[in-house]
Amino acid sequence: MDQSARAGTVDNQKVDACSMLSDPSLYINRELSWIRFNQHVLDEAKDPSHPLLERIKFLAIFANNLDEFFMVRVSGLHHQLAEGVIKLPPDGLTPMEQIERINHDLTPLLLEQARVWNEVILPELAQEGIIIHNRSSLDEKKRKILRKYFYREIFPVLTPLAFDKSHPFPFISNLALNLAVILKRPGSPDELFARIKIPKTLFSRLVKIPSDNERNEIDNIELIFLEDLIADNLDLLFPGMEIVASYPFRVTRDADIEIEEDEADDLLSAVEQSISKRWIGTPVRIETSMDILPSITEMMRTKLARYPHMFYPADGPIGMADLFCLMNIDRPDLKDSPFAPVIPERLEADPDIFNVIKQRDIMLFHPYESFQPVIRFLNTAAHDPDVLAIKITLYRTGTNSPIIQALLDAREQGKAVSVLVELKARFDEENNIGWARALERAGAHVVFGIMGLKVHAKLCLVVRKEKTGIVRYVHMSSGNYNAVTAKIYTDIGLFTANEEISSDVSHLFNVLTGYSQYSSYHHLLVAPGGIKIRIISLIEREIERQHTHGDGRIIFKLNALQDAEVIRALFRASQEGVVIHLQVRGICCLRPEITGISDNITVTTIVGRFLEHTRIYYFHNGGDPLVLMGSSDLMPRNLKRRIEVLYPALDPGIRNEIINTILPIHLHDTIKARMLKPDGSYVRIPPNPEKPIHAQKWLLDNREIWNRNILLNTTG
C-alpha cells in the first residue's frame, strides 16, 4: 500500500472513531442529568443523620432549584418549540422529547417530596413542639384569634379580582402564590370565579398563631400557612356570597431574560430594561392543589397553558422554597452544629498579609478555612498607603458585602479602584446594578461586563509600591467574593505574588476593561478559547503517556461536564487505557463504564451539608503532576460564552495537599458519594463498616490538622 493510501486509511479510521464517539447513546441528556442531581438534594431531606430543620432546608433547596430549572431550562425548550428551532443536544433528544422525559422523571420526585413533608417532616416537627396547622386542625379558640389577626393585619392588603364577562382574566405574575376561589350568589346555581394573590412578600409564608395563654403554650410553636389562614376567612372578603371552595395555585414563567445588547445604548440600560420583563414571561408551569376542580384547571388551560404537560398537581404546600423561613426558628438543637473555620497559621502569625503572600503562595479551602483573610486582604489594601490600585471582578457579592465596603473605603483613601461588575449574573442583576452605581458614585472605574459574554472569572489584583519597586498581589478563586456563600460552598482560593501569574492577571484585566487582545499568558487558561483547547491537549498528553509508559491518569472534580468535544477526548483516553476519575456534583452528560468506550472512567458525585463548588483538574503527567483550579466547568456556556480562568497550583506544598488530601478524601467517600451508572442512574457507594469515610465531615473534624500539613509542606 502506498503512502497516500495508508494516509487515507488512517483518516478513515479517525472519521469512523469520531462518528462512533458521537453516537447519541453515549451521552446523557443535560436536563435529565440535572434532575438526577436535584433528586440527590431531595434524598438529603430524607436522611435522618441531618438535623430536622436542615432536612427542611434541603426540601426548600429542592423546590428552589426546580423553580429556576423551569424559569430557565424548560422555558428554553418551550422557546425552541414556539420558534420551530430544533437544537439537538449530543444525546439526540428533541425539545418535545426532553419536555416529556422531564415530566416523566419529575412526577415521582414531586410525589416523594410531598410524602416526605406530610408523612415524615410534619410528624417530627410536632414531636419537637413545632405544630403546623391546616384549616381542619384549628380549634374554635385558635380560629377566633387568627380571625382577629387576619382582619387587622392581612385583610387590608388583599385585593380579590373577579373574572367574568365584565372582568378580564387577571394577570398572574411569576411565582406568585394565589387562591382560586369559587363563589355563588344566594339562590343562584351559577359559579363565579375570583383570584386572590397571597401577599407572601409582606408576611411570612408561615404565620405564627398568637397565644392567649403563654404559660401553657410557651414550649410549643404553632403555625399556619398564610394561604390557609386567608382561605379560612374568605367570608370577610366576599360578604353575602357563598364560598364554594378555594384552591392554591402558582404560575412559573419564562424568566431567562434576553438582553438585546446590540440594540441598547449601553449594557446597563439593556439589563435594566430586560429585568422588568422577567415577571411577565410566557408561562411554563402551573402548580395546583391535587384536589382542584377540573373546571378551574380547564379555565387555566385556556388562559395560561400552551401544553397539557404544564400542569403539576401538588399533594402538599405549593412553593416549598418558602420553607426556608422555618430556619428562623430559634432551635439550635434542630440545626447543624456551628463550626469555626480555621485561618492558616502563617496568616495568623504575621499581621503583614502582603509579606506572607510574598514569601509563598497561600491556599484557602472554604468553608473549612475562613473567608476572613480575603476580606482582610482587601481591607488592608484599602488603607495601606503603599497600595496604588485595586482591580476586581464581581459576579455575586450578596447584601451588606464587606468586599464592597472595602472597595468604597479604598476610594475614600484615594486608591485607584477598577471593578468589573457582571450585570448579567442571573437573578442577581438588580443587586449588581445597585453595587455598580454605589461604586461609580464613589469614583471607582466600573465596567459593566462585556457585550456577548459573561465574566465569571474570580480575580482580584492589588498593586503596591515597595522598596524593591512595584509588586502585584493576586487572589483567585473558584467561588464568588461573597462572605455568606463562602460558609456553605466548598471553594478553593489562592493568594500569590508570583510575577508571571501577576503579569497574566494584569493583562487579563486590560482585556476586560479595554481593547487589549492579549492572549499569550504564562500560566492562566482563559475562556473563551484557551481553556477548552488546553484541557483537550492535556488529555491528549495523558494518552501519549499511556502509549509510552502506561501511567496515564486524570482526575477532574467539578460542577458540570457537558461539552461534547471534551467528553469525546475523555472517551478516547479511556479507550487507550488512561485511568479517569470524575467527580461531578451536578450535570454529567458522559456515560461511564461502557465497554470499549468508557470502561476506564468512573463518575461519582457528592451532595451534602456544603455545596460542592470546587473545580480541580489533575493530570498525572508521568509523575510531574499538573493541578489546575479556577472558575470554569466543562460546559459550552463556560468554554464559549464566558470569561473564565483556570490557574495552576505552582507551589509544591499546595499541589501535594490537593493531590494527597483533598482529592483522595472526596474520591474515597463512602457515606455521601454516589456512583453514576451507564443508564444515567446513580447508586450509593458500598459502605465500608471498618473505615467509613464522610469527606465533608472529615475535613471539618480535621481542618486544623490538614491546615498544618499545608504549612509543613510549603515551608519544608
So what's the pLDDT on residue 57? 97
So what's the pLDDT on residue 255? 83
Q: Which of 40, 133, 366, 456 is labelled catalytic? A: 456
Angle formed at CA 366 by CA 365 and CA 370, multiple of 5 degrees: 100
So what's the pLDDT on residue 258? 59
Q: Does the domain made of 26-334 have the CATH classification 3.30.1840.10?
A: yes
So what's the pLDDT on residue 710? 52
Look up 79 and say whether it is catalytic: no
Say how far apart CA 682 and CA 590 lie, in whole Å: 13
Say how far apart CA 705 and CA 665 lie, in whole Å: 14
So what's the pLDDT on residue 18? 62
Cell of 523: 500560566
So what's the pLDDT on residue 271? 58
The list of the chain residues with pLDDT below 50 reads 1, 3-15, 215-217, 260-265, 711-716
Strand, coil or helix: what is 305?
Answer: coil
Do the domains 525-715 and 345-513 match in fold? yes
So what's the pLDDT on residue 206? 96
* CA-wise closest residue to 41 among 19, 59, 67: 59
| Cα–Cα separations (whole angstroms), residue 470 to 352, 377, 389, 481, 513 | 17, 17, 11, 25, 21
Buried b (16+ CB within 10 A) or exposed e, 650-670: ebebbbbbbbebbbebbbebb
What's the CATH architecture for 345-513? 2-Layer Sandwich (3.30)
Domain locations along the chain: 26-334, 345-513, 525-715
Concatenating the DSSP letter of every residue in 544-604 gives HHHHHHS--EEEEEES-B--HHHHHHHHHHHHTT-EEEEEESS-B-BPP--TTTTTTEEEE
Q: Select 525-715's CATH number: 3.30.870.10, 3.30.530.20, 3.40.50.10470, 1.10.1200.10.
A: 3.30.870.10
What's the whole-model pTM score? 0.92
Q: Tell me the per-residue pLDDT of 488-498, one tens digit each, with 9 for 90 and over.
A: 999 999 999 99
So what's the pLDDT on residue 170? 84
Q: Tell me the per-residue pLDDT of 183-194, one tens digit each, with 9 for 90 and over.
A: 999 988 988 999
Cell of 35: 434532575
Name every residue whose Cβ is closer than 8 Å to that of residue 388 and which is 6 or more positions away in sequence.
Answer: 415, 416, 463, 464, 465, 470
So what's the pLDDT on residue 278? 58
